[in-house]
Structure 1
Amino acid sequence: MIATLALWLSVVAAGLWSGLLLTLTTILHPMFVRQPGRGFATECAHFLPIARRSPTNYALVILLIVAPAVALLGLREAPSGVPFVLTAAGLVATVTTWLISLLRSEPNYDVILSWDPDALPNDWQQAQRRWIRLNWTRAALTWTAFALFVLATHAHLTT
């Protein structure tokens, strides 16, 4: 029972996070990148502080790590079983996403937020490209985790 509930929570959390990253990469990226440097810096100054401190972010990140960990505890009787292996792989993907956010994205946000939009540094486009690359990397990992959790849930419910 606990494994089933935790797997469903993993699917929901990864699905919601996947949707957020889909919006970021396919809607916000094109909007922000089409703007000149001043526009990009100004938009990020509005967007990043809210996005970084959103209670939704905290709740989903906690759920993305705790729910699959709980599911693994519930599935521990069959550690070589498909649901366990898929859930473990999904957890690795979510933890990797969190580490990228913590160690790479957050410092890049600090760089972007330090800019004066009227006097951008000469290398501002490098930070912009890094922002885009890191978002796509986190999106791909989250989409992978979502698929793994869906497959793990299906395998668990059909065994």
Structure 2
Amino acid sequence: MFAESLAVITATVVGVMVGVEFCVSVFVSPILLRLPAQQSLTASPIFARVLGRVMPFWYFGSLILTAGVAVVAWGEPAAGPAVVAAALLVVSVVVSLTLLVPINNRAMAWTPDDHPADWRDQQRRWLAIHYARVAIIVAAFVCVVVAVLLV
């Protein structure tokens, strides 16, 4: 019963995280990039601050839960997909910390009156890397779902 409950909680947490990140990549960030500079430079730091505070806990929480499923299911068919999902989540955390967080940290300080000349290019670079991260976490989510079905 514990393994099944952990699997369902894990799938829910990872699935909602993937949904949020998908929404950011497909809707929020492209809309912010299309706004005039004044509006974009006002709104973007707000998103950067809010998501910058929440997402680390969500990513690490998803990783811990997924690793927990792998441990609980060790020796069973569900362990394989859970281990792959955990490995993909590790990759997503590394991508986040090394590539996305530095850009995000800079973006949090930007204002309409004080921003670098290449701010849109930096935002586009962030979005391109974010697309890759979303692909990684979608693959992780699929593996989590497979593990849940095998628990």
TM (normalized to structure 2)? 0.87
Question: Which segments of 5 or more consecutive residues in structure 1 lack a partner in the other structure?
Answer: none
Separation in structure 2 between the aligned mates of residue 59 and residue 112 of structure 1, nearest angstrom = 20
Note the 1:8-47 alignment, pairs <5 A.
8-47=8-47
| Alpha-carbon shift at residue 118 of structure 1 (Å) | 2.7
Considering only aligned residues, what root-mean-square deviation do their CA atoms show, in Å? 1.9
2:53 counterpart letter in structure 1: R
Q: Do the aligned partners of 1:111 and 1:127 also contact (CA within 8 Å) in 2?
A: no
C-alpha contact (below 8 Å) 1:6/1:67 kept by paired residues: yes
Residue 61 of structure 1 pairs with residue 82 of structure 2: no
Matched residue of 2:70: which SS?
helix
Match of 2:103 in 1: 108
Q: How many Å apart are 1:40 and its aligned residue?
A: 2.2
Q: Stretches of 4+ moved more than 4 A in 1?
A: none
Give the share of equivalent positions with the same residue, in percent: 21
- SS of 1:53's equivalent? helix
- Alignment of 1:118 onto 2:116: no
Q: Which runs of 5+ in 2 are unaligned?
A: none
Q: 1:62 to 1:116 in 2, by over 3 A?
A: closer
2:140 aligned with 1:145: yes
Q: Distance in 2 between matches of 1:50 and 1:60?
A: 13
Shift of 1:37: 3.1
| TM-score scaled by length of structure 1 | 0.83
SS of corresponding position for 1:76: coil
